[in-house]
Every structure is written in C-alpha cells, then in structure tokens.
C-alpha cells in the first residue's frame, strides 16, 4: 500500500517538475541524492569527482526531464544518467592503487593493500568488468530488480542474470582462494 502511494507522489512530483517547479524537482531527487553519491563514489577516483558527477547527473536530469519515459522507474532513468556522467568525468590520468609500486617497502601501502584485499567491493572493482560491477552494485547495494538493472545498463534481462551469476562466482572463487592462502600461511 505504501509503495503505490510513493509511486503516485513521485509521478505528481515529476509532472510538477516538468511544468517548471524547481521545488518539486528538488523534492523528487532528494530521496536519490545520497544513494547516487554512494554509487558514483564507486565509479570515481575521488570524492570531489563523485560530487561533480552527481551535480552533472542532477543538472542533466532536470534539463532532460521532458525526455523521461514514465513506463520506466524514475530511479532507473537517474542511474543511467549517473553512469553517463561518471564515465564522462573519469580522468584518463588516474593512477590505480596497485600501480603505485612495491607495497612491502612502505608500511602504509602494505596496510592499504591488505585492506583492499579484505574489502568485497574493492575486490569486485578489481576483478569484474565495469558493467558487471555496476550490475552487482545496483542489485546488492541499491536493491534494484534485474529488470531495472537491465534498463539502466541497456542490456537484456538474460545478460543481466548471467553476468550477476558470473560476478558472484568470480568473487566466490577469489574469496575461496584468499581463505585457502590465509589458512596455509597460518599453519606454516
């Protein structure tokens, strides 16, 4: 019951925003702002870049609001814009953490490298393709349906299901290997 009330309220806000109400648009995107920023942080080299991509996302959403198709969920449309904004904002001269050099020579780098190995999403970022990582993030962090993820990524539902499964298997394999290595180190 609550879900249909939220959808009708969202639809009313979209219509008001389309007629030019900045207040309606502000209220409309307020529910998505924090989630979008968290999502963009996974696709940006820094917090400032993620904020820039978020700002670009919201500006473009407002600018192109009349192109929104109500057959799709509003969140799906927003995430598609966010993906485009993040890919435009990505800097080609960004250095990955593992490209910095030998971790053993610097305790701080060693600590960072150890933390990276233990973090699920950093491991996923390292192992999975951009699209598979995005699909997994939208499914397991943002709790989007497979159908909505398919729309965001502009892929088929079958592609989305198969790649979610492949991503899970890749991560399971990585963590199984890591656990085996850690166990063998512990026993000599």
Domains: count for the chain: 2
Name the residue range of residue 16's domain.
2-89
pLDDT in the model for residue 54: 94
Angle at 27 between CA 26 and CA 30, to 5 degrees: 85
Residues 111 and 84 in one domain: no
Tell me the per-residue pLDDT of 106-120, one tens digit each, with 9 for 90 and over: 677 666 666 655 577
Q: How many CB atoms lie within 10 A of CB 114?
A: 11
Residues 177 and 110 in one domain: yes
Question: Which residue, of 43, 63, 89, is where some domain finishes?
Answer: 89
Rounded CA separation 157/113 (Å): 36
63 vs 7: which has the higher pLDDT: 63
Q: Show the beta-strand stretches assigned E in 10-128.
A: none
Average pLDDT over residues 40-65: 90
140 vs 113: which has the higher pLDDT: 140
Residues 84 and 111 in one domain: no
pTM: 0.62
Rounded CA separation 148/75 (Å): 9
On whether the CB atoms of residues 54 and 37 are closer than 8 A, the answer is yes
Tell me the per-residue pLDDT of 142-171, one tens digit each, with 9 for 90 and over: 889 999 999 999 999 999 999 999 999 998
């Amino acid at each position: 019951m609550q879900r249909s009330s939220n959808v009708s309220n969202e639809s009313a806000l979209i219509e008001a925003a389309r007629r030019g109400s900045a207040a309606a648009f502000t209220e409309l995107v307020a529910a998505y702002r924090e989630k979008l920023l968290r999502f963009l942080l996974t696709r940006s080299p820094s917090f400032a870049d993620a904020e820039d991509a978020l700002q670009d996302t919201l500006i473009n959403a407002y600018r192109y609001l009349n192109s929104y198709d109500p057959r799709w969920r509003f969140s799906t449309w927003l995430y598609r814009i966010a993906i485009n904004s993040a890919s435009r904002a990505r800097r080609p001269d960004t250095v990955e953490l593992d490209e910095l050099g030998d971790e053993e020579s610097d305790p701080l780098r060693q600590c960072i490298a150890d933390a990276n190995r233990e973090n699920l999403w950093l491991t996923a970022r390292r192992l999975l393709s951009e699209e598979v990582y995005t699909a997994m993030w939208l499914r397991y962090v943002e709790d989007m349906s497979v159908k909505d993820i398919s729309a965001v990524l502009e892929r088929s539902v079958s592609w989305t299901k198969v790649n979610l499964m492949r991503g899970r298997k890749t991560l399971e394999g990585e963590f199984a290997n890591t656990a085996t290595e850690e166990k063998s180190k512990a026993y000599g």
